[in-house]
């Protein structure tokens, strides 16, 4: 069960202001077995709040990580886009940092080894830290040494004391999941070699607001980061963000590079430029986030109307992507019974299960060509290009996709 969070997860302020209420929803990745269809389903409030003291945006409920991540259904390697994205980054850092067999790379929330495998191919020693038992087992089977634990400051002390400090620490799409933000960042500092670099990717708050990506909000994502909020958090722990990049993955993400603070360290111009840009955008403005709530309501109304009109015309509609994003969107949207017939997903782990809340059956993507629904609601719109390419035959036969974010569009 979740618990109400009264203080900011970064600065501890008790003045956080609610700005968007998505109602009570089930946990986004709590897929059900068919025989669980009629059992009571646990739900928790999903409310977004803004901290005026440090500009961190966060949700107001915290679900114990043990109940979210010990058995997990998201395997990163099922996405070709993600694999290409990670290989490109690893190849770049391998050259820029002149890495070799005497260096050490650690990834936190290393999933199935999707990223570390590319360092291993270069001959660089690696270690994964992954709390999901089922996923850590797969990584080990692939030859990626993996500690099946949550990353904490205490674990960092154990690794550092055992000679496992890292030249590179990766933490992709995990910082948002962490209830103890300060302990996590303190652990990063403890684990990092004196001249090492921390590389973190996280969905970017500015893109989420500007593109109305409200489906990024779910109980696993406790925080939604701007560079402003991250800079304050890392500075507090003796770490300096020396470079930053905006990257397109997941609908728009930040990639930050941090290291131990040093007066002689020169930050890249991109950091100061983004901090100025965020200030002008309104990162510290409560009204900015309140307007977001109105935009979400309008987008949901547009999508409901589109789906309702298609059903009134007798069209058959399926969905693509049994994703956490999709769970938030559908459970906020609450389309009427029978509006969507089923969901398809490439992950064999999810196939045969039911989506949380709406209890839609999950099938392999081949189901689309087999049954030819008139329209497919693309819940994993963040991988739109990859999925449209995979579904070329469905589209050739006349099938159409409905892309819900950032505005309703039929392709």
Distance CA 359, CA 301 (A): 22
**So what's the pLDDT on residue 63?**
81
- Block residue for tokens 């109307």: 305
Task: Centre a 10 Å sphere on the Cβ of residue 252 and count the other Cβ atoms it contains.
Answer: 19
**So what's the pLDDT on residue 363?**
98
Average pLDDT for the chain: 94
Of 110, 130, 119, give the one whose Cα is nearest residue 89. Answer: 119
φ/ψ of 243, rounded to 5, equals -155, 155
**So what's the pLDDT on residue 17?**
97
| Residue 399 exposed, middle or buried by CB count within 10 Å (0-12, 13-18, 19+) | middle
**So what's the pLDDT on residue 80?**
87
Distance CA 4, CA 175 (A): 19
The three-class DSSP label of residue 385 is helix
**Contact yes or no for 330/306 (Cβ under 8 A):** no
**Contact yes or no for 205/226 (Cβ under 8 A):** yes
Distance CA 34, CA 353 (A): 6
**So what's the pLDDT on residue 344?**
98
Cα-Cα-Cα-Cα dihedral sign, residues 324, 326, 330, 333? positive
φ/ψ of 341, rounded to 5, equals -85, -40
- Block residue for tokens 């990024």: 216
**So what's the pLDDT on residue 29?**
86
Of 3, 9, 7, 5, give the one whose Cα is nearest residue 225. Answer: 9
- 339-393 pLDDT, tens digit per residue, is 999 999 999 989 999 999 999 999 999 999 999 999 999 999 999 999 999 999 9
**So what's the pLDDT on residue 3?**
73
| Residue 179 exposed, middle or buried by CB count within 10 Å (0-12, 13-18, 19+) | middle
First vs last Cα of the chain: how many Å apart? 40
Distance CA 336, CA 356 (A): 15
**So what's the pLDDT on residue 4?**
80
What residue ranges of the chain have pLDDT lower than 50? none
Superfamily holding 287-410: NAD(P)-binding Rossmann-like Domain (3.40.50.720)
Distance CA 61, CA 318 (A): 31
State pTM to two decimals: 0.91
List 41's β-bridge partners, or say none: none
Q: Both tokens of residue 30?
A: 């709590």
**Contact yes or no for 410/375 (Cβ under 8 A):** yes
Ordered by start, the domain boundaries in the chain are 287-410
């Amino acid at each position: 069960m979740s618990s109400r969070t009264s203080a900011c997860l970064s600065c501890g302020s008790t003045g956080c202001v609610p700005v968007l209420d998505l109602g009570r929803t089930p946990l986004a990745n709590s897929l059900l077995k068919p025989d669980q269809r009629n059992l009571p389903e646990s739900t928790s409030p999903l409310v977004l709040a803004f901290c005026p003291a440090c500009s961190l945006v966060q949700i107001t409920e915290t679900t114990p990580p043990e109940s979210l991540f010990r058995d997990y259904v998201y395997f990163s390697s099922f996405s070709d886009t993600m694999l290409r994205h990670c290989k490109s980054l690893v190849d770049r850092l391998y050259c820029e940092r002149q890495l070799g067999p005497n260096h050490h790379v650690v990834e936190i929330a290393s999933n199935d080894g999707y990223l570390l495998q590319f360092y291993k191919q270069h001959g660089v020693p690696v270690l994964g830290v992954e709390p999901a038992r089922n996923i850590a087992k797969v990584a080990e089977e692939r030859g990626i040494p993996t500690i099946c634990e949550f990353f904490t400051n205490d674990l960092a002390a154990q690794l550092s004391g055992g000679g496992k400090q890292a030249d590179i620490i990766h933490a992709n799409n995990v910082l948002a999941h962490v209830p103890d933000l300060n302990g996590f960042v303190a652990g990063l500092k403890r684990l990092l070699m004196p001249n090492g670099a921390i590389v973190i990717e996280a969905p970017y708050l500015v893109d989420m607001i500007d593109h109305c990506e409200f489906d990024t909000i779910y109980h696993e994502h406790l925080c939604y980061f701007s560079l402003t909020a991250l800079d304050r958090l890392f500075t507090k722990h003796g770490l300096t963000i020396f470079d930053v990049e905006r990257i397109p993955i997941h609908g728009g993400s930040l990639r930050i590079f941090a290291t131990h603070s040093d007066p002689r360290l020169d930050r890249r111009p991109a950091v100061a430029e983004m901090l100025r840009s965020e200030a002008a955008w309104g990162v510290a403005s409560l009204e900015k986030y309140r307007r977001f709530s109105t935009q979400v309501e309008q987008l949901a109304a547009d999508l409901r109307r589109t789906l309702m009109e298609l059903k009134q015309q007798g069209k058959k509609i399926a969905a693509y992507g049994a994703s956490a994003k999709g769970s938030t969107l559908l459970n906020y949207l609450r389309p009427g019974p029978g509006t969507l017939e089923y969901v398809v997903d490439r992950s064999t782990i999810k196939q045969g299960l039911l989506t949380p809340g709406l209890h839609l059956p999950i099938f392999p993507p081949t189901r689309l060509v087999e049954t030819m629904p008139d329209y497919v609601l693309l819940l994993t719109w963040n991988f739109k290009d990859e999925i449209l390419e995979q579904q070329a035959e469905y589209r050739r036969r006349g099938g159409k996709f409905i892309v819900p974010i950032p505005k309703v569009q039929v392709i």
